Amino acid sequence: MGIEVKFNPELALRPFNSEGRLREECLSESLVEGEEYLALKKGQRNFYLLGEVSLRQYNGKHLSKPIASITILEATHFLQDGETWTKVKYLVNKLLNPDDPPYFDGFEPVSAEANPNEVK
């Protein structure tokens, strides 16, 4: 038996309005910097809570480049119909353009310009 837990270095959601997925399992139709959103992931997921992580789109096979820098505000595990789910509340810090230079180096923003709130 055992406890199945996944550790996620980013939040990856399906494209908006993906067939066979709940609304919360998908990206919002539009994202706005400074706004909070809810997401739902099947399984017991652990997310990094002490800084920025990337928001990515997942099409079932591939992850996109980061589309936003987010802060996970809350992650709650619950049971529904005998399955474990994780509900996530996140804040969009910055929208990212895939054509721009990389914003993240692992979990860290690349430079102070990338993260003006970084304490030196």
Enumerate domains of the chain plus CATH numbers.
6-109 (2.40.240.20)
Q: Look-up: residue for tokens 């096979």?
A: 61
Task: Please state, in angstroms and rounded to a whole number, the distance separating the CA atoms of residues 104 and 82.
Answer: 37
pTM of the predicted protein model: 0.83
H/E stretch holding 73: strand 68-80
Taking residues 73-96, what's their average pLDDT? 95
Hey, what are 52's tokens?
């920025």
DSSP state for residue 21 in the 8-state scheme: S
What's the helix, strand, coil split of the chain in %, to 5?
0, 50, 50
Q: Are 79 and 56 in contact (CB under 8 A)?
A: no
- What one-letter code names the amino acid at 45? R
Instruction: Look at residues 73, 72, 67 and name the one whose alpha carbon lies nearest to residue 32.
Output: 67
Label residue 38 by pLDDT band (50, 70, 90). very high
Question: Is the pLDDT higher at 41 or at 105?
Answer: 41
State percent of the chain over pLDDT 70: 86
